[in-house]
Amino acid sequence: MKIAVFSSKAYDQQYFGNDCDSGFTMTFFETRLNAHTAVTAQGFEVVCCFVNDDLSEATIKVLKEVGVKLIALRCAGFNNLDLQAAQQAGITVCRVPAYSPHSVAEHALALLLSLNRNIHRAFNRVRENDYSLNGLLGFDLYKKKVAVIGTGKIGSTFARIMTGLGCEVIACDPVQDSELIKLGVSYVTLEHLWHQADIISLHCPLQQDTFHLVNEQAISQMKPGVALINTGRGALIDTKAVISGLKSGHIGYLGLDVYEEEADLFFEDKSNTLLQDDVFARLLTFPNVLITGHQGFFTKEALTAIAQTTMANIRAFAAGDFAAMQLVGK
């Protein structure tokens, strides 16, 4: 079975190479999959895609025409996929619903701690022989009220970490986690959450009802000086509204591992090009904003699990064992 891996990097080749069986041939393409590049999949039965590949109706139409039978997402989210178009085209879609929730949850904590204690600014000062502490004042996380939006595998892991630090954790999710409740986590409405939280961390999927969940109205209800962390999907946040919140001081800290227009930025070396995204450029001007390039998943454990689960899905598809697959839409 021939597999075309799009948006691939050297680390993808390393980890997938460790888990690829004989009988499977993997070809790695650095280019992103979209309606224009989908013809590259000619002769491949499987395309393996990542978070910023474009799996719109137009792309899927081309994939069907060139004979693709399976879309194997090597990520948990599938907001970049037109599932209805895939189903109508008769193309099976699978994903990796859980790889290492600790990797993303711990990265959310890293963003929060770095912002709060100004680690990124202190690092630069010390390198310049400046050991002054003015402007680096932080706060104790202990007993702060932390809000977790979305308590799936990643969100629940983050909630457990924060309870371990002595925080009061509240959460919002249509499905409540009984184990979190036993730990003392309280489930509340979004309106209550906006008003009460000192720290808000986003871990929900990007869907129609969560698009720009954090918008001007939501921000106006938050505590002044709130810390906002997003390691979920970029479009959970209305970036322009957040910039207004930062300018007014209503948002005190912003940590992002995702950005709603990241497809044209992240995972590539742009150091020798001019930044064309004015909104993103404005974010970079704030000293209380810390941005990483969608690296929350980037641990040895997570990459190993992603490769193993993706290949297990493909093996099950080849064997006709759909019950063993992590199917999207089932």
> Would you give the DSSP letter of residue 90?
T
CA distances from 84 to 57, 163, 251 (A): 8, 40, 38
CA dihedral in degrees (167, 168, 174, 179; nearest 10)?
A: 80
Report the greatest alpha carbon distance in the chain. Answer: 64
Catalytic pick among 233, 250, 260, 268 = 233
Q: CB of 207 within 8 A of CB of 246?
A: no
Q: CB of 309 within 8 A of CB of 16?
A: no
Q: CB of 43 within 8 A of CB of 1?
A: no
Spatial separation of the C-alpha atoms in residues 72 and 92, rounded to whole Å: 8
Spatial separation of the C-alpha atoms in residues 7 and 38, rounded to whole Å: 12
Assess whether 36 carries a catalytic annotation: no
Helix (H) or strand (E) holding 201: strand 199-202
Catalytic pick among 74, 107, 203, 262 = 262
What is the spatial order of strands in the sheet that 226-230 belongs to?
186-187, 168-172, 145-149, 199-202, 226-230, 251-256, 289-291
User: How many Å separate Cα 157 from the centre of its chain?
Assistant: 15
Catalytic pick among 268, 294, 301, 315 = 294
Assess whether 262 carries a catalytic annotation: yes
Helix (H) or strand (E) holding 12: helix 10-17
Spatial separation of the C-alpha atoms in residues 106 and 102, rounded to whole Å: 6
Assess whether 127 carries a catalytic annotation: no
Spatial separation of the C-alpha atoms in residues 46 and 48, rounded to whole Å: 6
Catalytic residues: 233, 262, 294
